[in-house]
Amino acid sequence: MNKMNIAVIGTGRMGSVHVRNLVRKIPEANLVAICDIRLEVAQALAEELGIPRVVADYHELLADPSITAVLIATSTDTHWFIVRDAAQAGKHIFCEKPLALDLPSIDVALAAVDAAGVKLQVGFNRRFDPAFRRVHDLVASGAIGRPCILHIISRDPEPPSVEYARASGGMYLDMTIHDFDMARFQVGEVDEVYAMGSVLVAPWLAEAGDVDTDVVTLRFANGALGVIDNSRQAVYGYDQRLEVFCSAGTAQAENEAVDTVVVGDRSGYHAALPPRFFMQRYPETYVNEVREFIACVQEDRTPSVTGRDGRLSVVLGYAALKSYRENRPVKLSEIAAL
């Protein structure tokens, strides 16, 4: 097997997940270096996993001709210019979502990728969940008719801090952004968004101008309709479900559970809770998405989650935010050229 030399930039929560996966679960990869401005954090990870090189400045990695690709998992505000710099250095790029929280920065990054002719894959990992992909494949096959209604339920187990909400872009650009990408993956392009939101479980989020509960309705270009419902506090666990109702049937993906044991007693039947959070619910998706990225580079294929997909998810986020603030449906064309 020809292994691809790859480096990881950013070794925080998501970066460390990718680093461990690359070393332990992705045989196609040769992780040659990691980078973090907090050098001591990266060094501890490198010592744990036997990674030969650690740097604090990502430019050192971009200057190394032996490195074919980089995986970017730094803070959101740095994604776009690291993508730009990596593209200009001729590196293929896997970048965590979102590419940026503003469209001009995304456009600069994508222009650099196009000019360099390198691969760019954006980290919308839920597309690589086996259940969600099975729903997609069923719908795309036409076996259950034309898509009519999409329903996505995505609820976190507990709300974030106000500091996190401010830095992440808030509900629509941080949490619902995954559901916007999933909606496009399942049904197709979205034409119009109408969002309603409230602060019902985490009053401190109001300080950031954010909401903790939202319902978003979608009108797709193909005429189908969609509903996304989000909450920052599902006390029973990480709630992840979807349904695509079609003209000749329906395809549903239900919650996974910690185990499949059902206990019956005098008070009724009892089943296990869903996984606690995304690391427990989606571990294999983070492996699957990076393996596809490596295959796309090695086989000269376009990744299934492109820079355009990353951009459109942010356009949808801003359309939802505008709709919430103005209390009206918003067409995506009001936000940016598509």
Please check whether residue 298 lies inside any domain of the structure: no
Are residue 141 and residue 164 in the same domain, yes or no? yes
Are residue 94 and residue 148 in the same domain, yes or no? no
CATH code where residue 65 lies: 3.40.50.720
Please check whether residue 68 lies inside any domain of the structure: yes
Are residue 108 and residue 135 in the same domain, yes or no? no
Please check whether residue 308 lies inside any domain of the structure: no
Contacts by 132-140 with C-beta closer than 8 Å and gap 24+? 132/182, 132/185, 132/186, 132/242, 132/253, 134/251, 134/253, 135/186, 135/242, 135/244, 135/251, 135/252, 135/253, 136/185, 136/186, 138/244, 138/251, 139/186, 139/187, 139/244, 139/246, 139/251
CATH code where residue 193 lies: 3.30.360.10
**Which candidate, 92, 264, 251, 233, places its Cα nearest to that of 186?**
251
Please check whether residue 289 lies inside any domain of the structure: no
Alpha-carbon gap, residue 218 to 226, rounded angstroms: 5
Residue 82 belongs to what domain range? 4-118
Alpha-carbon gap, residue 332 to 177, rounded angstroms: 14
Which secondary-structure segment (H or E) carries 194? strand 190-198
Q: What's the domain count of the chain? A: 2
Instruction: Enumerate the H helices of the chain as residue ranges.
Output: 13-24, 39-49, 59-62, 79-88, 103-116, 130-141, 162-168, 176-186, 278-281, 283-299, 307-326
Structure token digits, residue 21 = 């996966």
Q: Give the residue from 98, 118, 138 where a domain finishes.
A: 118
Are residue 11 and residue 134 in the same domain, yes or no? no
Are residue 319 and residue 172 in the same domain, yes or no? yes
Note if the pTM is more than 0.85.
yes
Per-position pLDDT tens, the chain of length 338: 689 999 999 999 999 999 999 999 999 999 999 999 999 999 999 999 999 999 999 999 999 999 999 999 999 999 999 999 999 999 999 999 999 999 999 999 999 999 999 999 999 999 999 999 999 999 999 999 999 999 999 999 999 999 988 888 899 999 999 999 999 999 999 999 999 999 999 999 999 999 999 999 999 999 999 999 999 999 999 999 999 999 999 999 999 988 889 999 999 999 998 988 888 899 999 999 999 999 999 999 999 999 999 999 999 999 999 999 999 999 999 998 76
Beta-bridge mates of residue 243 = 151, 252
Are residue 223 and residue 175 in the same domain, yes or no? yes
Q: Give the residue from 118, 143, 171 where a domain finishes.
A: 118
